[in-house]
């Protein structure tokens, strides 16, 4: 079974509007971390935001926020006020096991976001 | 902030030759590094976990004799693609979590390998 599922292969949004990228996950480990990365065409992986399974509040980083619904096992990324430079591939990822910095990440299939002027 | 570098960024080689890719943590020590492979418009697939001072741990289906990993120091891991074939052409990217537990894993900029 897929551990990370991103159901939107592609998304389009108008500049200055908000967009939500979906991510659901599957784990039996009570301790886990969820990440979102942005990958522009250059290939570099840019860290956006992190949510720990025990975090009480939804994570926010500037224009990025993570809508964490633990019971539904979803961790959607919300980008507010989209900019043309936000056009990129976005990956949701999960690390199982907290406190172990060496735990590896499992990635979803990604969502290609295109911001239209 | 912490940075991970990779070298080379792009390489073209002929079938049958070997290619070495380096992954360095620039301002922190990494006892563990991860090597991923990514096909165009696809996700990152973990190939192996590189462990400083010990053997790498390979994911199921990854040929350890083809993808040699060496983690000789706390700041350097190398991936050598041996006897490369066109199907090995891909984007290879490494990552390193900082030694002190943090939330972010740092990724190198990636190496685009083309085997002709």
Mean pLDDT of A91-113: 83
Give per-residue pLDDT as tens, A58-84.
999 999 999 999 999 999 999 999 999
Instruction: Give residue A99's pLDDT.
Output: 56
**Residue A23 above 70 pLDDT?**
yes
**A50–chain B nearest CA distance, Å:** 7
Share of chain A above pLDDT 70, in %: 93
A25 and A3 Cβ atoms separated by less than 8 Å = yes
Mean pLDDT of A14-26: 98
Q: Which chain A residues are within 8 Å of B114, Cβ to Cβ?
A: none
Instruction: Give residue B101's pLDDT.
Output: 54
Rounded distance, CA A53 to CA A33, Å?
A: 6
Query: For B110, which of A33, A43, A89 is closest by C-beta distance?
Result: A43
Contact B110 A105 (CB under 8 A): no
Q: Which residue of B has its CA nearest to A4?
A: B43
Query: For A44, which of B42, B98, B107 is closest by C-beta distance?
Result: B107
**Residue A100 above 80 pLDDT?**
no
Cis peptide bond prior to B8, omega within 30° of 0: yes
Rounded distance, CA B70 to CA B65, Å?
A: 12
**A8–chain B nearest CA distance, Å:** 13
For chain B, which residues score pLDDT lower than 50? Answer: none
- Looking at per-residue pLDDT, the higher value among A2 and B25 belongs to B25
- Of residues B19, B5, B28, B41, the one with CA closest to residue B98: B28
Q: Which chain B residues are within 8 Å of A8, Cβ to Cβ?
A: none
Instruction: Give residue B96's pLDDT.
Output: 87
**Residue A43 above 90 pLDDT?**
yes
Instruction: Give residue A103's pLDDT.
Output: 73
**Residue A1 above 90 pLDDT?**
no
**Residue A102 above 60 pLDDT?**
no
Instruction: Give residue A117's pLDDT.
Output: 95
Q: Which chain B residues are within 8 Å of A95, Cβ to Cβ?
A: 105
Query: For A101, which of B41, B99, B112 is closest by C-beta distance?
Result: B99
């Amino acid at each position: 079974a897929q551990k990370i599922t991103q159901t939107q292969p592609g998304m389009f949004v108008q500049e200055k509007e908000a967009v939500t990228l979906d991510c659901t996950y599957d784990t039996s480990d009570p301790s886990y971390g969820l990440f979102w990365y942005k990958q522009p065409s250059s290939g570099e992986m840019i860290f956006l935001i992190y949510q720990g399974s025990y975090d009480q509040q939804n994570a926010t980083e500037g224009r990025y926020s993570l809508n964490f619904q633990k019971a539904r096992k979803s961790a959607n990324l919300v980008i507010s006020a989209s900019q043309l430079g936000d056009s990129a591939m976005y990956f949701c990822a999960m690390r199982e096991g907290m406190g172990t910095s060496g735990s590896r990440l499992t990635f979803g299939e990604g969502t290609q976001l295109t911001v239209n002027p | 902030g912490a940075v991970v570098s990779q070298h080379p960024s792009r390489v073209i080689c002929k079938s049958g030759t070997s290619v070495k890719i380096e992954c360095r943590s620039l301002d922190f020590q990494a006892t563990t590094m991860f090597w991923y492979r990514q096909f165009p418009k696809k996700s990152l697939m973990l190939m192996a976990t590189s462990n400083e001072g010990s053997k790498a741990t390979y994911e199921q289906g990854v040929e350890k004799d083809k993808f040699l990993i060496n983690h000789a120091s706390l700041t350097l891991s190398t991936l050598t693609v041996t006897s490369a074939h066109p199907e090995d052409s891909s984007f290879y990217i490494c990552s390193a979590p900082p030694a002190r537990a943090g939330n972010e894993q740092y990724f190198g900029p990636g190496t685009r390998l083309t085997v002709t």
